[in-house]
Chain A
Amino acid sequence: MEKTRLLLGDEAVALGALHAGIKGVYAYPGTPSTEITEFIQKSSLARERGVHASWSTNEKTAMEEALGMSYAGRRSMVCMKHVGMNVAADAFVNSAMTGVNGGLVVVAADDPSMHSSQNEQDSRFYGKFAMIPIVEPSTQQEAYEMTAYAFSLSEQLKLPVLFRLTTRLAHSRAAVNVNDTPGPLQELPVAKDPSSWVLLPANARRRNDALTALQPRLRKLAADSPFLVEKNTGKHAVTGIVTCGTGYNYVMENRPDCPVLKIPQYPLPDEKISGFAENCDEILVVEDGQPFIEEQIRAFIGKDKKVRGRLTGDLPRTGELNPDLVASALGKAVQPLRSKPEAVVPRPPALCMGCGHRDVYIALNKVLADYENARVFADIGCYTLGALPPFCAIDSCVDMGASITMAKGAADAGVWPAVAVIGDSTFTHSGMTGLLDAVNDGSDITVVISDNLTTAMTGGQDSSGTGKFEKICSALGVEPEHLRVVVPLQKNMDEIMDTIRQEIDYHGVSVIIPRRECMQTLARKQRKQKE
C-alpha cells in the first residue's frame, strides 16, 4: 500500500531511511542538509524504535559514530552539507578501507551557487576519491526510493554509499508516494574480524587491493541501476545529452527530442556512456555542480567526439543550473519580456533586531577604534553577517573554527590585537583544539565566544556545549581571571567594552563569553508556551 505525502527532498531521504530500518542518524546541522535529521527527530516512528537522532558535535564525530553503529550490525546514516565532508573526510575515506557491516549511507548536500556556503565543492569527487558507490536522485520520489536502495547496496557490497543531494532538490517540496508500512529495523551480527577493522598497513594494503579490484563491479552496478533513464535512443542524432540529478529536470523541462541518458549512480558506467554516444555526433553534459561527469567522459570519448558542457562554455563554468541555462545550451534560449526594474535594489540578510551578536560587534568596533592594527578573525554562523554594514566588523571568515587558529597564527607573526569571534556551536565543532594550541603557546589573542545557546544559523538546533563553556575553557588551560562572561545588552555596553579592553591589554590567551539567548529560539519558546 502507498500513500502520498508532500515532502522536501531532505524529508524524503529521512523517511526513506526510517522505512529502510535505520537505527541511527548522525549529523551536524548545515544548510541544505539540516532538515533530514530534524525530520527524524520529530518522527514518532523513530521515537518508537529508539532511533538515535541527537546532533553530533561535528561531521567527523558523526561519521565515526555512524561507522560504530554499522560495526554493531545496524543501519546508520550520516548527513552533512558539502563542506562538512571536509571535516568528516578522514573517517569517510577510511570507512571505505574498513568497509561496513550494517548498511551505512553518507548524505552530502551540495550547494551550487553557494546560497548558504563558502564554496561550491562537489561531493562526488569525495566518493570517487574513496572509490565507493555514489547515488544521485533527480526527484523527491527518487530521493525516497534511492535511500532504501542505497542501504541495500551498502550491505550487498559491504561498503559505505555516498548519497549526493543539491540544494534545489533538498529544499524543494513535491508529492511523494511512500509505503504505508515501514520496513522492519535491520540487524546483523556485530562485526568481529579485526583484520578488516584494524587498518595496520598489512591489513590496509589487502583492503586497498580488494577495494580496487571491486571497481569494475561497481561500474556494472551503476550501468544496471534501476534509476538509470534513457530517452529517445536507438536512432542517430546530432546531439546526445548525458545528465544527472537536478540537471535532468532542466533538460526535460525543455522537452528535448534528442537522446538523453540520465546517470543515477557512480563510478561512472563508462561502457554504457560509450554505447550511448555511438549514435550521436556530439555529447552535451548537463550536471549541477562541478564538471565531474564531463571531465571523465572527455577522457574516454573526447578523442572521437565533441563533448560540450561547462568546460566549453556551453553552460556556465560555475553556479547552479536552471531551465533557462539548459535551454540556451540546447539552442532554445528565451528572452524575458520584462527586465528587473532599476527601482529594485538588493536586500541583503542582516542580524536580527535585538540579537546579542549586534551588541558584541558594537562594543568591539568601539574598542578597536583605539587600536590601529587590530584584526578580527571571525567564523561560520549568523555572526558572519558582522562583515556587512552597518558593522563591517570582521576581517576574515574561512571555515569552521578558523577564527581562533588564524588569530593565533597572526599573533605568532606579530599582529596585535588579534581577536577571534566564534559562536558557541562552532567553538565545540572545531574551535576547542585551536584554543588548546593557543594556550600551549601562550598566544597573545582575545577569543570572543558569542554564546546564544543554540546553533542559530541553521534554524536553532541544540548546541553541544551549552552550559559547559567555562568548564571547557578552564580545562583547556585558560586562566580563570582571563575567562570573562558578559551579557550582551545595550545597558551593559560600558562593562562589555571595559572587559574587551582589559583582555586585549593582557598579553596572553583571554576568552570573553557574551551570553544571551538567540531571539529566534526565545520567540519560538514563548509562542509554544502560549499554545
Chain B
Amino acid sequence: MKYDIILSGVGGQGILSIATVIADAALHAGLCVKQAEVHGMSQRGGEVESGLRLSDTEIFSDLLPTGSADMILSMEPMEALRYLPFLSAGGVIVTSSVPLMNIPDYPEKAVSEELKRLPNAVCIDIESIAKSISMPKAANMVLLGAASSRIGLLAPEALREGIARVFAGKGQQIVEANLKAFNAGLNETK
C-alpha cells in the first residue's frame, strides 16, 4: 500500500515543517518514505512544492508520477490547483482558503470557483483558526491537523508523536503550542 502527498504553498509558509512531521511519523511507523524538497531561489516568496511518498514497500522515484497523488495538501488555494495534474482519480485536496496575494492581479474569484467545482476539495480558513487559539504562526500545523484524519497509512496519533519529536529540540512549550494547533485543525474537520 502507498500514499502519495503533494505539499504546496508559497516560500516561507512552512510546508517543509509539515513534510518533516509526516516523514518523521512515517519513519517511526516503519514505512518507506521519500520526500523531495525545493531549496534555494524558489523560497523567496515564490511557489514551493514538496512531494511526499509513503509506502509499505520500496519506493523508487523521489518525484511523484502524474495522476498518483492521493492528497494535495496546500497552504494556499491557488498553489493547491497548480499541482492538479498530479491528483489521482479519488485523490483529495485539503487547502487553506486564504489567498496569499503577493503577485499583481491575483485571480481570487477564479481560484475559489475552481476549488468549489472539485468534488474532493476541503478549504479551511487555517489562519483564523490559528489566530483564534493565539498561534498565528502555527497555521501549518492547523492544516496538518485538518488533513490528518484523511492521510492514509498514518493515524492522527502517529502525527502528534511526530510533532513531539520534531519540535522537541525547541522546548516543551513549542511542542505544546504546535499540538494545540494540530488539534484545532483536526476538530475543524472531524
Interface residues of A (CB under 8 A from B): 4, 6, 8, 31-32, 34-35, 115-116, 168-169, 171-175, 246, 248-250, 252-253, 322-324, 327, 334-352, 382, 385, 457-459, 531
Contacts and interface: CB of A to CB of B under 8 A. Distances in A.
A34 B23 CA distance: 22
Interface string B79-98: 10111111111000000000
B170 interface: yes
B62 A169 contact: yes
Interface in B153-190: 170-171
B contact residues, range: 35 or more
A335 B85 CA distance: 9
A31 B84 contact: no
A197 B41 CA distance: 40
A531 B175 CA distance: 13
Given A174-B35, A249-B61, A344-B78, 15 more contacts: A6-B27, A31-B40, A35-B39, A115-B41, A115-B42, A168-B63, A173-B34, A175-B27, A249-B60, A345-B106, A347-B45, A347-B103, A350-B102, A385-B44, A458-B40
Majority secondary structure of chain A interface residues (helix, strand, loop or mixed): loop
Interface in B93-125: 102-103, 105-107, 110-111, 113-114
B10 interface: yes
Contact of B67 (A4, A337, A340, A457): A337
Nearest to A246: B62
Contacts of B47: 346-347
Contact of A116 (B10, B40, B67): B40
Nearest to B89: A337
B39 A172 contact: no
Contacts of B37: 8, 171-173
A531 B170 contact: yes
B46 A172 contact: no
Contacts, number: 151
A160 to B, nearest CB: 27
A344 B44 contact: no
B84 A340 contact: yes
Q: Which 5 A-B pairs have the closest CB atoms?
A: A349-B46, A116-B40, A31-B40, A343-B110, A336-B85
B135 interface: no
Interface in B21-36: 23-24, 27, 32-36
Nearest to B171: A531
Contacts of B171: 531
Contacts of B89: 337
Nearest to B113: A343
A6 B23 contact: yes
A338 B87 contact: yes
A280 B110 CA distance: 52
Contacts of A336: 66-67, 85-86
A347 B48 CA distance: 9
B43 interface: yes
Nearest to B77: A343
A456 B9 CA distance: 21
Given A253-B60, A253-B61, A350 B81 contact: no
A47 to B, nearest CB: 17
11 contacts: A34-B39, A174-B32, A252-B61, A322-B63, A322-B65, A337-B67, A343-B107, A344-B81, A347-B103, A348-B46, A458-B40
Given A253-B60, A341-B81, A174 B65 contact: no
A323 B43 CA distance: 25
B39 A343 contact: no
B107 A172 contact: no
A327 B27 contact: no
A327 B65 contact: yes
B11 interface: yes
Contacts of B83: 340
B40 A338 contact: no
Contacts of A335: 66
A350 B105 CA distance: 16
Contacts of B35: 172-174
B133 interface: no
Interface in B2-29: 10-11, 23-24, 27
A115 B34 contact: no
Nearest to A382: B44
A180 B100 CA distance: 45
A327 B11 CA distance: 31
Nearest to B110: A343
B39 A32 contact: yes
Nearest to A527: B170
